[in-house]
Structure 1
């Protein structure tokens, strides 16, 4: 059985946009779509049973709305919907283990009916072992495509660029492959971006001398990036690749590069930290500030 694309839904505008984006992605990948709603179980007492019944009813309504949204956008799609008991982060992480991709709204409702609050989405991204895509409210099919000649929105034009952010000091095949595959599926151009910063006197190790100028450093990084990508260019000959290196903070560079893109792909190293799993500063920044969907690809 093929792995599925899963969309977590809670009835918010963000999660409905995520469900529609997930349906389009499932069609591109030729994968089944699962719509999932998580709710918290209450103890089996009279009040608990009543609360559980209410939550099941609300979950059915949320899933029905998401399914209607999906079928309007992708008439041929027949999603499978399911309710799961929370906590939401744990339920979504468990489901994602067997998924091709997990898609969530980047913000959500708080309170009784919603579960995709910021802490849940960030918790899933920090711990997921499969790729997670975060989608903002208002994301439409036309937003993935270039504007028509008259400047109007269209789904008949080619796809916008896929932007792949690479840290050349922490390379991972899974992240690169995800970016190339996303571009291939869309027949889109892939823009690969790396940001570097000149070493400061405090960051130089014993015996190291910061002699190279910025121009030389830029050329060295460009050569390294080209060498890394050559294998992938050979593997994906139909994908047009544009590569660039720039001096500056990685988060600022990626946020700027993602302007006008259809998808941003970044990596996330799975590492237990003293305070538990967390997203790194670059991932955290792009999740909060990039307008297009963001794919976070975990790696060891």
Structure 2
């Protein structure tokens, strides 16, 4: 994953959103881009609730989190990264505000669920609906056994379950872009990459294997030192990816981009929607982009 702009993180006061912000801070090291923390106030009764009081509470929330993040950054074995942390409190609808901020973002990061779903495995409504509307890549962060705020001397990168990075691979260019970002993240974090191919969804096993092996060679050429393998598994793609997420450090998928306000399921596709709902790991959803490296990928006829 190669960041091309600032990273925005939706903050709601939950442990999940705090962990998402710490994850983003670590990914920003050395990029020169800023971490943008956005807290959205959605009063239940605009005419009754005290907007000034709500804004003050939001600002205090972001100030406290920013301080914790600065301490985490300074405690890194290589020293502080100097990443700029900016904060913003906005009154409005969380989905609309964050979708707007994602217009020119390098990445939008969300916690798996919000403050109202403590210890829940169920994904929050914003985290589920927003990836289909945002024009940028979206990372829905799920806190695992470890914590991003754990001692950075012991865990200078992300806490790792050990399953590496998993990317769903098919013949589409969406999958090609997702594979590039998955390989980039794997190399940056010293993790293995698993290219997962659901063979039942493809018409010819021999052709599918040849193309997947071609993709593997292509990625190894683009990312020297990449540790990667292809897995051919029988079954429905969404079910295979959800199963793989149980041990994955990150699950990466391509998503369609038909326009900011089209239906979420149209943009993500049925497989991406199903995986996002049930994945046990963090999920990175990557929109299509023109990437010159795709020209070296074997033609997908």
Q: TM-score, normalised by structure 1?
A: 0.77
Q: Match for 2:147 among 133, 140, 149?
A: 140
Q: Does 1:101 align with 2:120?
A: no
Q: Unaligned regions of 5+ residues in structure 2, if any?
A: 75-79, 118-122, 290-301
The alpha carbon displacement at 1:173 in A equals: 3.6
CA change 1:194–1:42 in 2 (3 A) is same
CA contact 2:20–2:141 (8 Å) conserved in 1: yes
CA contact 2:72–2:149 (8 Å) conserved in 1: no
CA contact 2:8–2:35 (8 Å) conserved in 1: yes
CA change 1:72–1:286 in 2 (3 A) is farther
* Bigger-Rg structure (1/2): 1
Which aligned pairs between 1:78-89 and structure 2 lie closer than 5 A? 78-89=84-95
The alpha carbon displacement at 1:103 in A equals: 0.6
The alpha carbon displacement at 1:192 in A equals: 0.9
CA contact 1:106–1:287 (8 Å) conserved in 2: no
Which aligned pairs between 1:1-300 and structure 2 lie closer than 5 A? 3-27=5-29, 29-40=31-42, 47=47, 51-75=50-74, 76=80, 77-110=83-116, 118-137=124-143, 140-141=147-148, 154-155=154-155, 160=162, 161-169=164-172, 171-197=174-200, 217-271=204-258, 276-278=263-265, 279-299=268-288
Deviations 1:40-69 (A, max 9, x none): 37999xx45x52112201211221232133
Separation in 1 of the partners of 2:247 and 2:88? 35
Separation in 1 of the partners of 2:206 and 2:165? 24
CA contact 2:37–2:62 (8 Å) conserved in 1: yes
Deviations 1:106-144 (A, max 9, x none): 111349xxxxx822222210111111111124552399x
CA contact 2:187–2:226 (8 Å) conserved in 1: yes
The alpha carbon displacement at 1:15 in A equals: 0.8
Deviations 1:127-171 (A, max 9, x none): 11111111124552399x9xxxxxxxx526996411111232564
CA contact 1:174–1:299 (8 Å) conserved in 2: yes
CA change 1:79–1:132 in 2 (3 A) is same
CA contact 1:29–1:185 (8 Å) conserved in 2: no
Range moving further from structure 2, 168-177 or 250-259: 168-177
The alpha carbon displacement at 1:78 in A equals: 4.3
RMSD in angstroms over aligned alpha carbons? 3.3
CA contact 2:12–2:114 (8 Å) conserved in 1: yes
Q: TM-score, normalised by structure 2?
A: 0.77
Aligned residues: 267
Separation in 1 of the partners of 2:195 and 2:176? 14
Q: Unaligned regions of 5+ residues in structure 1, if any?
A: 112-116, 146-153, 200-209, 211-216
The secondary structure found in structure 1 opposite 2:29 is: helix
CA change 1:198–1:280 in 2 (3 A) is closer
Deviations 1:78-114 (A, max 9, x none): 4111112321111111111221111101111349xxx
